[in-house]
Amino acid sequence: MTYLFIADLHLSPDHPRLIRGFLDLLDAYKNKNTQLYILGDWFNAWIGDDYTAPWLDEIVSALQQFSNAGNHIYFLTGNRDFALGQTFLDQFNGELLSEITTLHIAGSIIRIEHGDLLCTDDISYQRFRKIIRNPLLLKLLKNTPLSFRQKLANGFRKKSHQAQQWKSYEVMDVNQDAVHTALKNVDLLIHGHTHRANIHDVESKKRIVLGDWKEDSAQILEIDPTQNDHALYLNTWRY
């Protein structure tokens, strides 16, 4: 069995190369008995499970083939696609995970999450996150027209981009105290969000940061439990 972890694809019709890269990845791992974990920001924006479009149909079709081949798809939400729910995932037997999920792989305890909750120094973002993810607000938004939600998402992306231009590198990265807390009862922490792919040693444990997807490549993580050391591979996926 292959355990594959990816994050921050930011798929959208504006970037067909990213879509092609994801479809190629599904094809490459289709016959490897793969457990695919997508750790948030799968899509550049998600305005609701009632959204449909031809470019999305192609992705769903590929995911159905991937699932029908005996593979499994797991997803936890990011800051761009927190409105994505089980209704969308049901189309290809995917499973929505909690924002923070613990896995047990080959004797190791692994914590997976998107990573934005670790960036506690970014106070303005954490405040916004708490508001926008309020269940009551999300329920109200889901009952508004798609066109309104699209405008709202576009506005959020624009404001987020403007805000990031004024924030320092350190503020937008993870807080080390938050990392130590996250690793307290696990052996390994895997996340995305910061777009700074790397394997960090934290005392006797590891923190693995997945990379965001570029126009021709991405940093992805593969865990091979058949190896004696349960080998971790942070690889460059090219497409």
Domain membership flag for residue 38: yes
Segment 45-90, tens digit of pLDDT: 999 999 999 999 999 999 999 999 999 999 999 999 999 999 999 9
Residue 68 located in a structural domain: yes
Distance separating alpha carbons of residues 53 and 31, to the nearest angstrom: 28
Residue 150 lies in a domain: no
Per-residue pLDDT at 231: 76
Residue 128 lies in a domain: no
Residue 134 lies in a domain: no
Q: How confident is the model at residue 230 (pLDDT cuts 50, 70, 90)?
A: low
Q: Is 141 a member of any domain?
A: no
> What confidence tens digit (pLDDT) does each residue in 2-54 have?
999 999 999 999 999 999 999 999 999 999 999 999 999 999 999 999 999 99
Tell whether the model's pLDDT for residue 163 goes beyond 70.
no
| pLDDT for the residue numbered 194 | 96
- CATH code at 63? 3.60.21.10
Q: Which domain holds residue 195?
A: 2-118+176-238
Q: pLDDT value at position 150? A: 85
Determine what percent of the chain is predicted with pLDDT higher than 70.
Answer: 94
- CB of 192 within 8 A of CB of 37? no
Strands 108-113, 188-191: pairing kind: parallel
Q: Does some domain include residue 229?
A: yes
Q: Is the pLDDT of residue 116 over 80?
A: yes
40: tokens are 């948030």
Q: Identify the pLDDT of residue 166.
A: 58
- Domain count for the chain, please give it: 1
**Strand order across the 72-76 sheet:** 95-96, 72-76, 34-39, 2-6, 217-223, 232-238
Q: Which residues pair with 113 in a beta bridge?
A: 100
Q: Is the confidence at residue 156, as pLDDT, over 90? A: no
Higher pLDDT pick, 101 / 150: 101
Q: 206 in a domain, yes or no?
A: yes
